[in-house]
Amino acid sequence: MARVRRLPLGTRLPAALAAGAGSRSERSVKIRPATPADLDAVVRNEAASFSTPWSRHTFLSLLARHTVIFRVAEDDAGALIGHGIIWWVFDEAELANLAISPSARGNGLGGALLDVLLAEVALHGVLRVFLEVRKSNEAALRLYRSRGFEAVGERRNYYVNPREDAIVLQLDFDVDLSRAS
Protein backbone atom coordinates (compact mmCIF):
# COMPACT_ATOMS: atom_id res chain seq x y z
CA MET A 1 0.00 0.00 0.00
CA ALA A 2 1.26 3.45 -0.85
CA ARG A 3 1.09 6.55 1.25
CA VAL A 4 0.24 9.60 -0.82
CA ARG A 5 2.28 12.75 -0.35
CA ARG A 6 0.02 15.78 -0.38
CA LEU A 7 1.33 18.90 -2.13
CA PRO A 8 -0.74 22.08 -2.30
CA LEU A 9 -2.00 23.10 -5.72
CA GLY A 10 0.35 25.57 -7.39
CA THR A 11 3.29 24.32 -5.34
CA ARG A 12 6.64 25.57 -6.58
CA LEU A 13 9.04 22.69 -6.41
CA PRO A 14 12.67 23.46 -5.60
CA ALA A 15 15.18 22.78 -8.36
CA ALA A 16 16.68 19.97 -6.30
CA LEU A 17 13.38 18.08 -6.55
CA ALA A 18 12.63 19.04 -10.13
CA ALA A 19 16.17 18.52 -11.38
CA GLY A 20 17.26 15.67 -9.13
CA ALA A 21 19.45 15.50 -6.05
CA GLY A 22 22.71 17.37 -6.28
CA SER A 23 21.50 19.85 -8.89
CA ARG A 24 23.00 23.30 -8.69
CA SER A 25 20.24 24.88 -10.71
CA GLU A 26 18.39 27.82 -9.22
CA ARG A 27 15.32 27.10 -11.35
CA SER A 28 11.99 25.97 -9.99
CA VAL A 29 9.02 24.19 -11.48
CA LYS A 30 5.40 25.11 -10.91
CA ILE A 31 2.62 22.53 -11.19
CA ARG A 32 -0.79 24.09 -11.69
CA PRO A 33 -4.21 23.41 -13.25
CA ALA A 34 -4.24 23.39 -17.04
CA THR A 35 -6.17 26.12 -18.85
CA PRO A 36 -7.32 26.50 -22.47
CA ALA A 37 -4.35 28.83 -23.01
CA ASP A 38 -2.00 25.89 -22.31
CA LEU A 39 -3.40 23.61 -24.99
CA ASP A 40 -1.07 24.51 -27.87
CA ALA A 41 1.95 23.77 -25.67
CA VAL A 42 0.30 20.62 -24.30
CA VAL A 43 -0.32 19.35 -27.85
CA ARG A 44 3.33 20.03 -28.78
CA ASN A 45 4.54 18.21 -25.66
CA GLU A 46 2.17 15.33 -26.39
CA ALA A 47 3.47 15.00 -29.97
CA ALA A 48 7.06 15.00 -28.72
CA SER A 49 6.25 12.30 -26.17
CA PHE A 50 3.96 9.78 -27.87
CA SER A 51 3.74 8.06 -31.26
CA THR A 52 -0.07 8.35 -31.20
CA PRO A 53 -0.67 11.72 -29.52
CA TRP A 54 -4.02 12.93 -28.27
CA SER A 55 -5.72 15.77 -30.13
CA ARG A 56 -6.25 19.35 -28.99
CA HIS A 57 -9.99 18.62 -28.97
CA THR A 58 -9.47 15.71 -26.56
CA PHE A 59 -7.51 17.89 -24.16
CA LEU A 60 -10.05 20.70 -24.43
CA SER A 61 -12.92 18.35 -23.60
CA LEU A 62 -11.09 17.09 -20.51
CA LEU A 63 -10.76 20.60 -19.08
CA ALA A 64 -14.53 20.78 -18.58
CA ARG A 65 -14.99 17.46 -16.79
CA HIS A 66 -15.40 17.54 -13.03
CA THR A 67 -13.92 14.05 -12.55
CA VAL A 68 -10.67 14.90 -14.34
CA ILE A 69 -7.54 16.41 -12.84
CA PHE A 70 -5.45 18.01 -15.60
CA ARG A 71 -2.18 19.60 -14.47
CA VAL A 72 0.73 21.20 -16.27
CA ALA A 73 4.30 21.79 -15.15
CA GLU A 74 6.10 24.93 -16.21
CA ASP A 75 9.64 26.10 -15.65
CA ASP A 76 10.58 29.41 -14.08
CA ALA A 77 10.40 31.08 -17.50
CA GLY A 78 6.78 29.94 -17.88
CA ALA A 79 7.51 27.30 -20.54
CA LEU A 80 5.35 24.19 -20.33
CA ILE A 81 7.59 21.17 -19.70
CA GLY A 82 5.06 18.53 -18.69
CA HIS A 83 1.42 17.60 -18.35
CA GLY A 84 -0.55 14.94 -16.55
CA ILE A 85 -4.15 13.75 -16.48
CA ILE A 86 -5.92 11.47 -14.07
CA TRP A 87 -9.66 10.76 -13.89
CA TRP A 88 -11.84 8.83 -11.52
CA VAL A 89 -15.13 7.00 -11.22
CA PHE A 90 -16.27 6.28 -7.66
CA ASP A 91 -13.22 4.95 -5.78
CA GLU A 92 -11.06 4.02 -8.79
CA ALA A 93 -8.91 6.24 -10.97
CA GLU A 94 -6.88 5.94 -14.12
CA LEU A 95 -3.68 7.80 -14.78
CA ALA A 96 -4.52 8.53 -18.39
CA ASN A 97 -1.59 10.67 -19.49
CA LEU A 98 1.78 11.73 -18.11
CA ALA A 99 4.22 13.43 -20.47
CA ILE A 100 7.43 15.26 -19.73
CA SER A 101 9.15 17.34 -22.39
CA PRO A 102 12.16 15.40 -23.78
CA SER A 103 14.57 18.12 -22.62
CA ALA A 104 13.23 17.92 -19.03
CA ARG A 105 13.22 14.13 -18.62
CA GLY A 106 15.33 12.24 -16.12
CA ASN A 107 15.33 14.99 -13.51
CA GLY A 108 12.49 14.00 -11.19
CA LEU A 109 9.77 16.11 -12.78
CA GLY A 110 7.70 13.08 -13.81
CA GLY A 111 7.70 11.88 -10.21
CA ALA A 112 6.79 15.30 -8.88
CA LEU A 113 3.89 15.64 -11.32
CA LEU A 114 2.73 12.10 -10.57
CA ASP A 115 2.83 12.82 -6.82
CA VAL A 116 0.63 15.89 -7.27
CA LEU A 117 -1.90 13.96 -9.37
CA LEU A 118 -2.05 11.08 -6.88
CA ALA A 119 -2.39 13.39 -3.90
CA GLU A 120 -5.22 15.34 -5.53
CA VAL A 121 -7.17 12.30 -6.71
CA ALA A 122 -6.91 10.75 -3.24
CA LEU A 123 -8.85 13.74 -1.91
CA HIS A 124 -11.83 12.55 -3.98
CA GLY A 125 -12.12 9.24 -2.14
CA VAL A 126 -10.13 7.21 -4.66
CA LEU A 127 -8.69 4.02 -3.19
CA ARG A 128 -7.08 2.50 -6.29
CA VAL A 129 -5.32 3.85 -9.38
CA PHE A 130 -4.68 2.00 -12.64
CA LEU A 131 -2.56 2.79 -15.67
CA GLU A 132 -1.19 1.19 -18.80
CA VAL A 133 2.42 1.57 -19.88
CA ARG A 134 4.41 0.24 -22.82
CA LYS A 135 6.25 -2.92 -21.88
CA SER A 136 9.48 -1.38 -23.23
CA ASN A 137 9.18 1.92 -21.32
CA GLU A 138 11.67 1.09 -18.60
CA ALA A 139 11.97 4.65 -17.28
CA ALA A 140 8.21 4.92 -16.76
CA LEU A 141 8.05 1.46 -15.19
CA ARG A 142 10.79 2.46 -12.72
CA LEU A 143 8.91 5.66 -11.86
CA TYR A 144 5.59 3.91 -11.29
CA ARG A 145 7.13 1.10 -9.26
CA SER A 146 8.96 3.68 -7.12
CA ARG A 147 5.52 5.04 -6.17
CA GLY A 148 4.14 1.61 -5.25
CA PHE A 149 2.43 0.57 -8.48
CA GLU A 150 2.41 -3.18 -9.13
CA ALA A 151 1.80 -5.12 -12.34
CA VAL A 152 -1.65 -6.74 -12.37
CA GLY A 153 -2.08 -7.64 -16.02
CA GLU A 154 -1.11 -7.23 -19.62
CA ARG A 155 -2.97 -5.98 -22.68
CA ARG A 156 -1.77 -7.66 -25.87
CA ASN A 157 -1.11 -5.35 -28.83
CA TYR A 158 -2.52 -2.39 -26.88
CA TYR A 159 -0.23 0.16 -28.49
CA VAL A 160 0.27 0.87 -32.17
CA ASN A 161 3.08 2.63 -33.96
CA PRO A 162 4.92 0.45 -33.02
CA ARG A 163 2.61 -2.36 -31.98
CA GLU A 164 3.40 -3.38 -28.42
CA ASP A 165 1.86 -4.91 -25.33
CA ALA A 166 0.90 -2.77 -22.34
CA ILE A 167 1.54 -3.66 -18.74
CA VAL A 168 -1.40 -2.79 -16.49
CA LEU A 169 -0.26 -1.36 -13.16
CA GLN A 170 -2.27 -0.78 -10.01
CA LEU A 171 -1.68 1.31 -6.90
CA ASP A 172 -3.78 0.80 -3.77
CA PHE A 173 -3.78 3.75 -1.40
CA ASP A 174 -3.04 3.02 2.24
CA VAL A 175 -6.34 4.17 3.72
CA ASP A 176 -7.57 3.54 7.24
CA LEU A 177 -11.33 3.42 6.71
CA SER A 178 -11.94 3.22 10.47
CA ARG A 179 -10.86 6.88 10.69
CA ALA A 180 -13.32 8.06 8.05
CA SER A 181 -16.33 9.92 9.34
Catalytic residue list contains 138: no
Q: Which CATH architecture has domain 12-126?
A: 3-Layer(aba) Sandwich (3.40)
Instruction: Give the β-pairing of 92-100 and 80-89.
Output: antiparallel
Task: Determine which one of 46, 74, 120, 132 is catalytic.
Answer: 132
* pLDDT tens sequence across 169-180: 999 987 554 454
What confidence score (pLDDT) does residue 164 get?
86
pTM above 0.85, yes or no: no
* pLDDT tens sequence across 105-158: 988 999 999 999 999 999 999 999 999 999 999 999 999 999 999 999 999 988
d(CA 9, CA 135): 32
What confidence score (pLDDT) does residue 68 get?
98
Regarding predicted confidence, which is higher, 4 or 39? 39
> Where do the structural domains in the chain lie, given as residue ranges?
12-126
At residue 25 the predicted structure's pLDDT band, cuts being 50, 70 and 90, is: very low
Task: Determine which one of 46, 74, 120, 144 is catalytic.
Answer: 144
Catalytic residue list contains 120: no
